[in-house]
Amino acid sequence: METILPKFDSVFSIDCVIFGFDDGELKILLIKRNEEPFKDWWALPGNIIQHDQSIDLAAERILYELTGLKDIFMEQFHTFGDVNRHPQGRVITVAYYAMIRLNGTKELKPISNYASKAVWIPVNDLPELAFDHEKIFSRGFDKIRNKISYQPIAFELLPEKFTLTQLQQLYEVILNKKLDKRNFRKKMLNYGILKELNEKQKGVSYRAAKLYKFDKRKYAKLFQKELTFSS
């Protein structure tokens, strides 16, 4: 006789911590919730996973529905499962993070009525967030702060062509410390992974600086171990 087992009743959600860099500021992607609980509160883009959908596909769907962004590579970084993190019951969330270039990024436009709008907000101006999203944001920020010290993830936030000043500004804002200009540039150039271009900045009122590109092929060829980018 076949044994009939009870079904589990679990609720899982996705929350996305999406970073961007623009005008010398590190920014985070937030939505304004249009439903209870926490209606009209700022929150990370997130929602419940559908029962017939994988976690990765759910993350893509939720980010698109709440912001209009798609084809964004995201990586899982932590699971949050405190018992009382949601007022309606036990919800376990899988958090994803991504770092994207804001230069040329299309306008944010929620597809779902779940969010009334989506905006980029500087991390230094972070408002009070719904649920435990401040904790999730902080965990995501710690993730990129640790990773930027030994992997070239900073280049994911910069324009394809950038100045050494822009590169240093990005490291300083993520690491939250001032870096010595001469030492930083010397170290970055000595790694041999920056390609100097025969181009300079355009449309600036000050002396135009040289432009560089990150050489992914050279990085992959030269380095098989962790680098120390920040010290």
pLDDT in tens, 133-186: 999 999 999 999 999 888 888 999 999 999 999 999 999 999 999 999 999 999
Question: What tokens appear for 119 in the block?
Answer: 């905006």
What whole-number distance in Å separates Cα of residue 223 and Cα of residue 164? 21
Res 226: pLDDT: 60
Those residues whose C-beta lies under 8 Å from the C-beta of residue 52, and which sit 6 or more positions away, are none
User: What does the pLDDT read at residue 230?
Assistant: 65
Residue of 90 and 137 predicted with greater confidence: 137
CB-based burial, 126-150: b 16+ in 10 Å, e otherwise: beebbbbbeebbebbbebbeebbbe
112-134 pLDDT, tens digit per residue, is 999 999 999 999 999 999 999 99
Q: SS3 for 215?
A: coil
